[in-house]
Amino acid sequence: MRLLFIIFTFLFVQFSASGQEVPDENPLEEALRWERVVYRSNDPDTLFRALQAKAICYAKASLYSEALRTMERVKMYLLDPDEAWEVLVMKAFYAKLSGDPGAALGYLEESGDAGSYPELYSVLLAAAWRFDESLEQALSVASTEEEAAAIRELFRKAPRLRKENTAAAWSFLPPGGQIYLGKPAAGLLSMMLNAGAAALTAYELIQGDWVTGLLGGGLLLNETFFKGNMVKNVQSVSSVNKLSIEAFTASLDSLLMSMGSSGLKLD
């Protein structure tokens, strides 16, 4: 929020200087008023500033996805380089706050000025599993050896990117797949279920009940080994990766923000 506050302050001062400031009102009502300006105007500069103002209104209401969609309506080919940079940086912040770090990273790198925002850039690089680059940016924020040591310690605990093929391969040896995904308790349960299904199947075959053993045992093992073990593990890879990287980037974001200013430069 601190980064957005700086952006908002700068832009509102700019609006005030050009006589565009209006009395305080509900952010969504103000957004509607700016949309009317967009609808009625054919002047590129007026359209640009009105869309910026509307995006800020949505951000003030914590509607960051709407703010981003509003900024995406800006016609970039009509902007000068400074204005284009301004839009891309705002898009990066809104994309991050709306929960899309991949898009935020793309906008920030497209701006050509990602290095001016080392805290944000480091977090977005980490979200893209680019830990070496993220560490380099994070260390540039540290002003003491203690801070640098804290950053290095955090990166030593960075999560590993799980892969579907590896999860599937380990799943042939329950509870290997679950352990690979960091779920040993679920792995133990899976191993017990598969052992029980295999034991029941073997018992029926030993007793000479081939139909029950082969058909029933096959169906049971399909549920415990294939669906409940292999398929479930493969399907869990993306959610495990998402949760682990979100936890890491949240810790990194908090650590870097505690070390000083955001490095945001809009003047």
**What is the band of 24 on the pLDDT scale with cuts at 50, 70, 90?**
low
Q: Go through the chain and tell me how many residues it has.
A: 267
Model's pTM, two decimal places? Answer: 0.76
Q: Span 238-262, mean pLDDT?
A: 89
Residues 6+ apart with CB under 8 A from 88: 107, 108, 110, 111
**Which pLDDT value is given to residue 213?**
66
In angstroms, the first-to-last Cα distance of the chain is 19
How many whole angstroms separate alpha carbon 11 and alpha carbon 56? 9
Q: Tell me: the pLDDT tens digits for 204-224?
A: 778 877 767 677 777 877 787
Q: Tell me: the pLDDT tens digits for 103-132?
A: 999 999 999 989 889 999 999 999 999 999
How many whole angstroms separate alpha carbon 39 and alpha carbon 117? 34
- Output the CA torsion sign for 92, 25, 18, 6: negative
**Which pLDDT value is given to residue 61?**
94
